[in-house]
Amino acid sequence: MSLANLSLRGVTKRFGGLTAVSSVDLDVAEGSIAAIIGPNGAGKTTLFNLITGVYAPSEGSISFEARDVRRALDRRAIELGTSVAAGCALLGVAIAAGVPAFEALVSGYRYAEPFAWGAGLGRALSAFGERAVGVVLGALAGTAVGAGGYAVTWRRGRVRPHLLARQGFGRTFQNIRLFKDMSVLGNVLVGLHPRLEAGFWASLLRLPSQRREEAGARAEATGLLEFVGLADRRDALAKNLPYGDQRRLEIARALALRPKVLLLDEPTSGMNPNETQALTRLIGEIRERFRVTVVLIEHHMKVVMGISERVTVLDHGAKIAEGTPAEVSAHPAVIEAYLGKGDEDVE
């Protein structure tokens, strides 16, 4: 078996007093098709949301290609953090030098008396001297700027879905989430957007480089639609597609990210047997053509047993079994989770 390129260790997620996912360990081998199954409310979608950055784990670690995804900082976050640090350093130098602007601020505040409490505070501050008070106010301002910059930098640097999408995660959702009033082609182009490099001015001025990039994106999006069988509906609105085709479109949009790991949340939900069989074949073709690792949540056991190489079973947020489809299907804990205890066990 290939080395795991997605690994979870002791992952737990709590919502107040409710533990939705409890100490889950999971390894997904590169290039494999793995399934996560379990009864309704077992924590399957919550686990997907943790992997893709929608939620942050309460405990545990999630690593991708041997790196903790929670430590991922994009280039802009690093630049922002550096700028904030440099700005605070310059502000500290200005405070130490006693910039006259701070003294002027104190003087202007002390003699402006729009409120009684303002005048009183101004007189109290004047006892320490305008220069000293200016330094104090400057220090407070620098602290506020530094704290704000730190908060913004942390927010940009923590795991968020768009950062993980750039790292190689693509997903679909249990409830279809398309841009329903956009065209089929437009939905796939949205998935390609993080890969485009043309900046604001290149796009505004329609420079040749931007036009070439846009033409390439349209060609790639059209190719993905051909792969999923929707090329003839490229100009239709997404909301006008049949349910099964909307599922295919969502997969095409996820593939547009060029993911290394593709997470499919109940991809055959609501499909008839023929659509289910066709989509099952498509998932296998996706793995072979795009060399992508596939992780799916699925209630349709025929699909799970037909294409999965490894199955993980959750119940009440905890992992109760793991193994090959044959091993899992015969596991007593799995049978109990799905069917309940036998009459002889009920008191």
Range of the domain at 3: 1-71+160-168+260-347
Element (H, E) at 293: strand 293-297
* 329 and 204 within one domain: no
* 145 and 67 within one domain: no
* 240 and 184 within one domain: yes
Specify the CATH number for the domain of residue 187.
Answer: 3.40.50.300
Structural contact between residues 53 and 161, judged by C-beta atoms closer than 8 angstroms:
yes
* 147 and 192 within one domain: no
Q: How many domains does the chain have?
A: 3
- Measured CA to CA, the distance from residue 152 to residue 341 in angstroms comes to 51
- Measured CA to CA, the distance from residue 157 to residue 234 in angstroms comes to 36
* 150 and 82 within one domain: yes
Predicted local distance difference test score (pLDDT) of residue 155: 56
Within 10 angstroms of residue 164's Cβ, the number of other Cβ atoms is 22
Whether residue 65 has pLDDT greater than 90: no
3-state secondary structure of 257: coil
* 251 and 266 within one domain: no
Comparison of pLDDT for 93 and 310, the residue scoring more: 310
Least confident of 15-29, 63-77, 203-217, 307-321: 63-77
* 250 and 195 within one domain: yes
Predicted local distance difference test score (pLDDT) of residue 330: 87
The model's confidence at residue 178, banded by pLDDT at 50, 70 and 90, is very high
Q: Model-level pTM?
A: 0.72
At 232-241, the pLDDT tens digits run: 999 999 999 9
Q: Give the residue from 236, 258, 280 where a domain finishes.
A: 258
* 164 and 276 within one domain: yes
What are the tokens at 59? 């405990």
* 347 and 269 within one domain: yes
* 153 and 15 within one domain: no
Q: Give the residue from 129, 157, 185 where a domain finishes.
A: 157
Q: Give the residue from 234, 258, 282 where a domain finishes.
A: 258
Predicted local distance difference test score (pLDDT) of residue 133: 60
Phi, psi of 271 (to 5 degrees): -95, 155
The model's confidence at residue 284, banded by pLDDT at 50, 70 and 90, is very high
Q: What is the Cα gyration radius of the chain?
A: 28
- Measured CA to CA, the distance from residue 44 to residue 59 in angstroms comes to 17
* 24 and 164 within one domain: yes
* 164 and 60 within one domain: yes
The model's confidence at residue 128, banded by pLDDT at 50, 70 and 90, is low
